[in-house]
Amino acid sequence: MNLLNFKNNIYKKILCLIPLSLLYFPPSYAELKIEFEDSDSMVKTIFNEAYNTMGKRVGAKKVNWSWCEGPSSYDPLRHFICINNNLKNQDLALAFTTAHEYAHHIQKTIYGYLDREKMNILKIELQADCFAGVILASIPNFYITPDDANKLLEIVYENYGDDDYDGWDHHGSGHNRHLSLRSGLTFGSSKGARKDNYYKVFCAGDLFK
């Protein structure tokens, strides 16, 4: 290849790159990564950012939290969240659980109570899954690529559902929880522009019996 051809080739490549760059659309989910030193800092970051993106809007109080032996839970009377020890170092499942428990805090702030007598527990849980998706997809610079989002949806589908359909603590089938989380991720990652078919059912549905 002589020098002239070489230069021409380079120019062709540069010219090619310009229109391609104009066609580039940002991905649905933020790609910048926050390095978490450990699971503690991940949980703290998610609580802080959940407050900044969703909690502040509804006037949520500060929550306290700790790791615990039992299942992860939210105590509406003490505004206290416990996160199951076994989730340490399981980044995606930990991120989802942290956001889900914080979502209960948002619900408590909005409705003033979380009452099993007056409210439908299944709807409460599925709305918390949807809110968790909104929270995770809205955190600036949080590393949740489309691949990670798909992995997380798979984890929820496989591990988070229960089939105790008539039970008092039924949280939803894996399929329902997957759909609900996906609704929230779609809504959050599009900054509220995209509501999929399930958004009304899961995120904005009526929680009362």
In whole angstroms, the minimum distance from the beta carbon of 101 to Zn ion comes to 7
C-alpha–C-alpha distance, residues 129 and 184, integer Å:
7
29 or 101, CB closer to Zn ion? 101
C-alpha–C-alpha distance, residues 2 and 207, integer Å:
73
177 or 182, CB closer to Zn ion? 177
Which helix (H) or strand (E) is 127 found in, with range? helix 121-138
- Region from 88-96, 122-130, 144-152, 182-190 binding Zn ion, contact rule CB under 5 A: 122-130
In whole angstroms, the minimum distance from the beta carbon of 64 to Zn ion comes to 18
DSSP track, 18-64: HHHHHH----SS----PPPSSHHHHHHHHHHHHIIIIIHHHTPPP-E
In whole angstroms, the minimum distance from the beta carbon of 149 to Zn ion comes to 20
Q: How far does CA 91 lie from the centroid of its chain?
A: 12
- Region from 14-22, 29-37, 124-132, 196-204 binding Zn ion, contact rule CB under 5 A: 124-132
28 or 173, CB closer to Zn ion? 173
Contacts of Zn ion in 170-189 (CB under 5 A): none
**Are the C-beta atoms of 134 and 191 separated by less than 8 Å?**
no
- Region from 25-33, 80-88, 108-116, 127-135 binding Zn ion, contact rule CB under 5 A: 127-135
Show Cβ contacts of residue 159 under 8 Å, excluding neighbours closer than 6 positions: 93, 174
In whole angstroms, the minimum distance from the beta carbon of 195 to Zn ion comes to 22
C-alpha–C-alpha distance, residues 161 and 163, integer Å:
7
In whole angstroms, the minimum distance from the beta carbon of 16 to Zn ion comes to 51
In whole angstroms, the minimum distance from the beta carbon of 124 to Zn ion comes to 7
Comparing CA positions, the residue from 51, 57, 139, 58 lying closest to residue 95 is: 139
**Site map for Zn ion, 61-80, x if CB under 5 A?**
--------------------
76 or 151, CB closer to Zn ion? 76
C-alpha–C-alpha distance, residues 11 and 25, integer Å:
24
| Residues contributing to the site for Zn ion (CB under 5 A) | 125, 128
